[in-house]
Structure 1
Amino acid sequence: MQQRFFPVVLLALMIMGSTACNNDNKPKEDPASTTNSALAPPAAMDYTVVKVYPHDTSSYTEGLLLHNNELFESTGREGFSKFAKIDIATGKPVKEQFIDKSIFGEGITVFDNKIYQLTYRSNKVFVYDLSTFKKLAEYPWNGEGWALTHDGKSLIASNGSSNLQYLDPATLKMQKIVGVTDNYGPVNNINELEYVDGFIYANQFETNYILKINPESGRVVARADMKDIFANGGKVFNEAQLPDPQEDVLNGIAYDSAKGSFLVTGKQWPYLFEVKFK
C-alpha cells in the first residue's frame, strides 16, 4: 500500500489501477468512466466517535473482528503475519499465532468455532481451532486473498477486485460471486469485511471510505468518509506516530452487537476508534 492517509493528498474514489492491501501492485478492474444517472449515489453515512482505545503500532492490520466480546486481529507482511486475541484496554495481544515467515497473512473470520485465515499470494487458506489456535486444515486458494467474513451460512471473501466470493465453509468451494457497484459502476479495492444485520461493511483500500453493501444486489447503499476520524476522536493526527505513513491506511472493521457500535482502525495506527454510524 502506497497511499498517504492523513492529511496529505487522498486518492479519488475512481482511481484506475492501484496497489493492494500490502505494498505490492495488484491487478484491478476498470470502473465505468461515467455516472449511471438512473442509479442514485450511495447515501452519506455519518458517524460519531464514542471512545478511543490504544492500538499496537506494530500491527499491520488486515482483519479485525469481535467474537463473544473478544477482539481478534490479523496482521500482514512476511515475517510478521499473525492473528491474535487482543486486550482492547491496552491494544496488546493476550494470545497470538504467527504463521510461516514466507507468508503474507490477510483477513480472518470466526465460523463454527474455527478461525479462517486468508493469505495474500500463497494460494492457501488456513483453519485453526478457536480455543487453542491449533491448525486444523489447509485449503488451496485460487488467486489473491484480501478479506474475509461470513453471513452465518457462507464465508464471504474479497480479492481486491469488485467481487465478493461466497464459499462453502466445509470445502471452500465457490458458491457464487456478487459484484459490488455504485452509480459509477464496479467498485474495486474491496477490502476488510464485516457482515452486520444483513449488510456487508467494507474498507475500500486506498480511500477514506467505509462502504455499506447490499449483499444480494452488490449495491453500495451508503458510504462513510473517515478522513477526519482522528480529529473527531479528539486526537491530533501526526505522521510521526505512524511507522510507515505511506502505507498505514484505514483498514479494520469490527462490530460490537451488544453496543451497536463498530471498532475501526488502520494499519499500524496508534488508536482504535469505537464509532456509531447514523
Structure 2
Amino acid sequence: MKKLIKISIITTMFFLISIFLASQMKVVNAIPVEKINSELKEINYQIIAVYPHASDAFTQGLIFHEGYLYESTGQYGSSSLRKTDYQSGEIIKSIQLDENYFGEGITIFANKIYQLSWRENKAFVYDLDFNLLKTFTYQGEGWGLTSNQDFLIMSDGSQYIYYRNPEDFEIVKKISITANDIPLNNINELQYLDGYLYANIWLEDYIVKIDLENAEVKAYLDLENIIDKDQYEHQLDVLNGIAYLEEKESFLVTGKLWPKLFEIVLLD
C-alpha cells in the first residue's frame, strides 16, 4: 500500500510539473493551412517596395496611422512602443516598457494607442504622444490586437478571437476560428480590413485571411520566400507584423529582428 501511495504521489507531481512547463511556453500546435484544407485559396502578392527596419525590433504588433507606422516590440527588458517613418526606418519617438513587461500587439482606436502585454494580464492605453492614459487588466495571454469601427479585436495564441469594449476592455464576443472545421491555433498579429481578419500564425510563414462573419479561414498568403534569412549575420526570427496602408491599398509586413520591411499588394 505504501508503495502504491508513493507511486501515486510521484505520478501526481509529474503531472503538475508537466502542466507548469506547458504553461511557460506558447502553444506549438498550429497546423499548416495547406494540410488543414488543400482547397483553400492561395493569395498571390507583389512586392512594390522594400524599406529598412530596425533589426533590434522583436516585432509584436504594427499599425499604420496618419502617415506613420506604430510598432510594439517584445522581450523582457527591451519591450517598447515606437513611432517610425516607415520609408526611412527612422524612429521618431520611442518609449520603453518596464522590464517586467513583454510587449505584444497594438492598435489605434479613437486616437488612442492600445498595447497588450504577453503574460502580465495588462493592457496600456496611450495618447498619440505616448502619454499613458490608463491601464486595463485581463485574463489569459495577450498576443495580437486590431480594431474595427466598434471594438478592439484580440488574439491570445489559441483558436479564439475576442471582441473587447475599448472603454473598459471587457469581452463583448468570443469566436472560434476554424479551417475546414479544424480549429486554427497560434493566431498572432492581426489586421482588420473590410470584415476580414488578416492574421500571422506563430511559427509559420503565412498570413491567413479570416471571414469574421462565419469565423472561417478563406485563404492564405505564403510569405516563406519573401526574405533570405541566411544572408544575415544575426539570426532572424519568425514572420510577424502586418499593417494596412489605406491610401495605397497595400500592406506592410516584416518579422521579429528583420532588417527589412516589405510593402506588398495582394493580386487576387
TM bucket normalised to smaller: 0.7 to 0.9
2: CA distance between counterparts of 1:166 and 1:212? Answer: 17
Aligned with 1:128 (options 123, 126, 129): 126
Runs of 4+ in 1 over 6 A off after TM superposition: 28-31
Structure 2 unaligned residues grouped into runs of 5+: 1-21
1: CA distance between counterparts of 2:232 and 2:92? Answer: 23
Structure 2 partner of 1:43: 41
Aligned pairs for 1:22-33 (under 5 A) are 25-27=25-27
User: CA shift at 1:270, angstroms?
Assistant: 1.1
Checking the alignment, whether the CA contact within 8 Å between 2:106 and 2:144 is kept in structure 1 is yes
- Shift of the 120–238 alpha-carbon distance from structure 1 to 2, 3 Å rule, reads closer
Residue 83 of structure 2 is aligned to residue 85 of structure 1: yes
Q: Give the residue type in structure 1 aligned to 2:148.
A: D
Q: Deviations over 1:143-193 (max 9, x none)?
A: 100010001101000000011000000011111111111015001110110
Q: Deviations over 1:97-136 (max 9, x none)?
A: 2110111000000001110000000110110111x21101
Checking the alignment, whether the CA contact within 8 Å between 1:57 and 1:242 is kept in structure 2 is no
User: CA shift at 1:50, angstroms?
Assistant: 0.6
Checking the alignment, whether the CA contact within 8 Å between 1:29 and 1:162 is kept in structure 2 is no
Larger-Rg structure: 2
User: CA shift at 1:30, angstroms?
Assistant: 8.1
Aligned residues: 243
TM-score, normalising length: structure 1: 0.82
User: CA shift at 1:90, angstroms?
Assistant: 2.5
- Shift of the 30–249 alpha-carbon distance from structure 1 to 2, 3 Å rule, reads closer
TM-score, normalising length: structure 2: 0.85
- Shift of the 30–56 alpha-carbon distance from structure 1 to 2, 3 Å rule, reads closer
Checking the alignment, whether the CA contact within 8 Å between 2:64 and 2:244 is kept in structure 1 is yes
Q: Which structure has the highest helix share of the two?
A: 2
2: CA distance between counterparts of 1:72 and 1:192? Answer: 14
Structure 1 partner of 2:16: none
Aligned with 2:71 (options 73, 76, 80): 73
**Secondary structure of 2:162's match?**
strand
User: CA shift at 1:240, angstroms?
Assistant: 5.3
Aligned with 2:230 (options 230, 239, 258): 239
Aligned pairs for 1:1-278 (under 5 A) are 25-27=25-27, 41-130=39-128, 132-183=129-180, 185-230=182-227, 237-239=228-230, 241=232, 243-245=234-236, 248-278=237-267
Checking the alignment, whether the CA contact within 8 Å between 2:30 and 2:186 is kept in structure 1 is no
- Shift of the 241–129 alpha-carbon distance from structure 1 to 2, 3 Å rule, reads same
2: CA distance between counterparts of 1:176 and 1:184? Answer: 20
- Shift of the 30–209 alpha-carbon distance from structure 1 to 2, 3 Å rule, reads closer
Identity %: 43
Q: Give the residue type in structure 2 aligned to 1:137.
A: K
Structure 2 partner of 1:233: none
1: CA distance between counterparts of 2:92 and 2:192? Answer: 25
Higher RCO by CA contacts (8 Å cutoff, separation 6 or greater):
1
**Secondary structure of 1:239's match?**
helix
Structure 2 partner of 1:14: none
